[in-house]
Amino acid sequence: MRALVQRVSEAAVRVDGETLGEIGPGLLVLVCAMQGDGEANADALAAKLVKLRIFKDDAGKMNLALKDTGGSALVVSQFTLAADTSRGNRPGFSTAAPPAEGDRLYEYFAARLRAEGIAVAQGRFGADMAVSLVNDGPVTIWLDV
């Protein structure tokens, strides 16, 4: 699985003007299941994410993880993270998992974060979503597992 993680002071996702999920301080996680991914990949990504030390401690150093801060995660499916731009000018997405499997792993990943004690808000798989955020730092990190 692949994720683009942004440390945020707030984030929200809307579909057709309706807010589906919003968080205060925490992480916006744009996530994509890739061809061949399974639950073990989702488990590994969730475990990495909750322990990723990208929040400031009292000394201003990035030493704290999401679990340490009590922050939330806004998890948004984004198959375009699988974009292959190696040929031509139009990205290809053939490395993304098929939609049914992508949706299943997206939901499984969010459930794994909840099982780790993280408050999770979500978008809607396959929907045309509007995501808003205030990137804190800015801190943006790419994760591949």
Chain segment 42-74, per-residue pLDDT in tens = 999 999 999 999 999 999 999 999 999 999 999
Q: Report residue 57 CA to chain centroid gap.
A: 23
pLDDT interval class at 114 (50, 70, 90): very high
In angstroms, how far is the first alpha carbon of the chain from the final one?
5
Place of tokens 């000394």: 59
Query: What confidence score (pLDDT) does residue 124 get?
Result: 97
40: left (phi over 0), alpha (psi -120 to 50) or beta: alpha
**What domains are defined for the chain?**
2-84+92-144 (3.50.80.10)
DSSP 1: -
Label residue 94 by pLDDT band (50, 70, 90).
very high
List of residues 6+ apart from 134 with CB closer than 8 A:
8, 9, 10, 11
Catalytic residues: 78-80
pTM of the full predicted structure? Answer: 0.95
Q: Tell me the DSSP string of 37-58.
A: --HHHHHHHHHHHHH---EE-T
